[in-house]
Amino acid sequence: MTHALIIADIEGIADIDDLTDIEKSSKLYTQEVIVYINALLANGINQITICDAHDEGKLLIRKKIEDINSGINKITLVSRIDGISFENKYDFAILVGFHGMEGSFGILPHTIRFDIKQISLVNTNNEISIPIGEVELYIRWLGYHNIPVIMVTGDREAVYEANCFNPYLQVCCVKSRLQKEFIDRAFLYDKLTQSVENALALNKTLCISCDNDKIAIELYNLDTTHALCIMGYNNKENRIIFNNCADLVKELYTFVGHLQDINKTTWETNIAFLKTVRELAKPLQKEVVANSEIGSLLNNNLLLLDRYSREKITSVIKVLLRNR
């Protein structure tokens, strides 16, 4: 029996451009994932595992998906990437609802987390770094496990990324930041259904990606990078290095846990620092400080202020005080 794996994320789902409306987002997310399930069922694929890869994996409406099960259908829903068991044999995978990488012209672009500036492939032969997003990260991770990714859907940037390294993969764009007119969702779902059929006709061996390159993670806060280095992570040129995508994904939630712990300390440090800065800058007009070269730093996310930023802020304020 053919076993399909669907890995779903929410930012690249049609009509979702604001995640604060959780009820609407969850409904649209589930509706679109069910389109893929039904397309696979219509093509005789009755064993399907769906991974809700967004955040903690709690936004897909479980009951609506489980209701599709019948005597011959075996639909399984798991939460988070680490919920996927490779003791199961997956014949192929489809990445659904993905988004562009951090810094791309996407609708909700990011790479895993807000504090990650860039993830790059580092070619072992010439050390050239090539930025990648979650799409290529997961494609290579699945390739490491000999699972072909036959199709990627999401926003314009995600599908562009999907074809950067393997133009053979089937892709389907469901939305774009450049989109001017609303597209009827029923027509879009028909397009997705047809795209699944096209993907199933591909030579799946050509959809298996290699995972031979090292991965470098650049964080916005250099203090965080140094803290991770102290924990034992490999640091080269202020980037955390993993042997390949599979190693990163295997370590992902532990790595994220470390980031969260470090961020807590960073937050406390910067809160105390800002109190000191406010006291130091009392003789200065707020407009003078805001319009200075450190104005943008003071308006930045507190978690992104590192020791270099703190030193610069203190230095500039002392100069402003001398020149007032």
Tell me what the mean pLDDT of segment 229-239 comes to.
95
Give the separation between CA 321 and CA 324, rounded to whole angstroms: 5
Q: Could you tell me if 292 and 285 are in contact, meaning their C-beta atoms sit under 8 angstroms apart?
A: no
pLDDT for the residue numbered 268: 96
pTM, 2 dp: 0.94
Alpha-carbon distances, residue 17 vs 20, 55, 80, 174, 179 (angstroms): 9, 16, 22, 12, 12
The total number of residues written for the chain in this structure:
324
Q: Could you tell me if 158 and 96 are in contact, meaning their C-beta atoms sit under 8 angstroms apart?
A: no
The model's pLDDT over 140-198, given as tens digits with 9 standing for 90+, comes to 999 999 999 999 999 999 999 999 999 999 999 999 999 878 789 999 999 999 999 99
Question: Which residue's entry shows tokens 């794996």?
Answer: 5
Class at the top of the CATH hierarchy for domain 3-207: alpha beta
Question: 26 in helix, strand or coil?
Answer: helix
Instruction: Tell me the β-bridge partners of 78.
Output: 51
pLDDT confidence tier of residue 267, bands split at 50, 70 and 90: very high
155: alpha, beta or left? (left if phi > 0; alpha if psi -120 to 50): beta
Tell me what the mean pLDDT of segment 201-221 comes to.
96
Dihedral angle sign, alpha carbons of residues 120, 102, 294, 263: negative
Contacts of 253 (CB under 8 A, 6+ apart): 80, 81, 82
Q: Which two tokens stand for residue 13?
A: 């789902």
Q: Where in the chain is CATH 3.40.50.10780? A: 3-207
